[in-house]
Structure 1
Amino acid sequence: MTRLGTVPPLALQLPAPDTIRARCIALAMLDAILIPSPLAERPHEYRTRWMRGASLARWHDGLGNHRHIAFSPAGVIAVAHSADAPTPTRPGPVDQAPYSLQALITASVRIPADEHTFCAWRTSGATAWSTAGEADSADVRYLFESVLDTGTYRTDTENYLDRTLSPQAIEAVLSLRPLTGDTISALNPTVEIASVLADMDTIGYPR
């Protein structure tokens, strides 16, 4: 666990919870427009009404690496799994988080404890993040790249979809501006508006 004087650089770089939430919402909305279906192929997902009073952001890269971030009145907890990392010993990273947050992951996300190679949390009212696991590894930094620097989204997605994307339209969504027909069409001219509206409701994207 992080101790005073040995705070891993990643803990210092993680934005405030509200910033992470806004970025997760925007990234999920972009994926919903660019990859309408199937849902499993979208790297980012956000459910604003995941549990009573709690929301959940998911990310995966299709290669066995994934990240979950749960937001609740008690605080925020993020867990990540690197396919290349060694299996953590017990007690693992999640076991070191406060139970009020730990329970969001162990009871609801239902991912085996030995799949969590890193955990970060910030209780309500706290001014800094706490971490457990391989916080300084390049693998973990990769797992959090999209919430640390949304500027990588366009390049990564263009490579994934093998086409050029409108930087103006992407910036509009990343800024959580109200979606317009022009913005949606600039990103994906074939997506059905009804599908976008349904995803906006699930994600909680502002109208």
Structure 2
Amino acid sequence: MKDDSSKINNSFEKSLYEIGERSSSYSKLQQILLIYAVFGCIIGVIAFVYFIIIKFQIDLTQQERILLLVSGSGFSLSLISLVILFFRRQQYKTKTERNRYINAIGEFLFQWGRFERIGKNKLEQKNMDFNKVSIKAIIYSLLETSLITEDDIIILEECLRSRNALVHAEQPFITEDLIRMTNAISEINNRLANS
């Protein structure tokens, strides 16, 4: 049984790694293409300026040509650097938000698991007869023994629905909602542990 869970865990980690790699390579390709696009625009602008100089027969000295070339190169480098910085910032924001979301999921599931453990232990200490594999039975047994309140039931049912949706990948969640539910479960856990 332990080997099976280890294989599943390794497979899951491998899948997450592959998803991250695909996302990363797509993002890098997108950045490269954008840099090429910006560089192409800059070359186009420089070529247009050169066309105007030739068309209107503007006579430039050697120093003026060098100065025009240097200023065009400097402008090009500045614009490319700004584009790269913008996309690096966007990439950082995306990674930060994704990490925050993953941390929120982990903390939510940890607090939910802690609730199940504490709830079962409290009911066993009171020698209650309850279905140990049914979380709803555990919740309502805790209510019967006045270890939790009706308000807690409302919160726990919302959290149970969210937990099931997360575990079965039914829908993504807003990070703030996960944090709110995590804090609510944590508060219930602390009350249960101290009762």
Give TM-score scaled by structure 2 length: 0.27
TM-score, normalised with respect to structure 1:
0.26
Whose relative contact order is higher, 1 or 2, with alpha carbons under 8 Å and at least 6 apart?
Answer: 1
Greater percentage in helix: 2
**Comparing both structures, which one devotes a greater share of its residues to strand?**
1
Question: Which has the greater radius of gyration?
Answer: 2
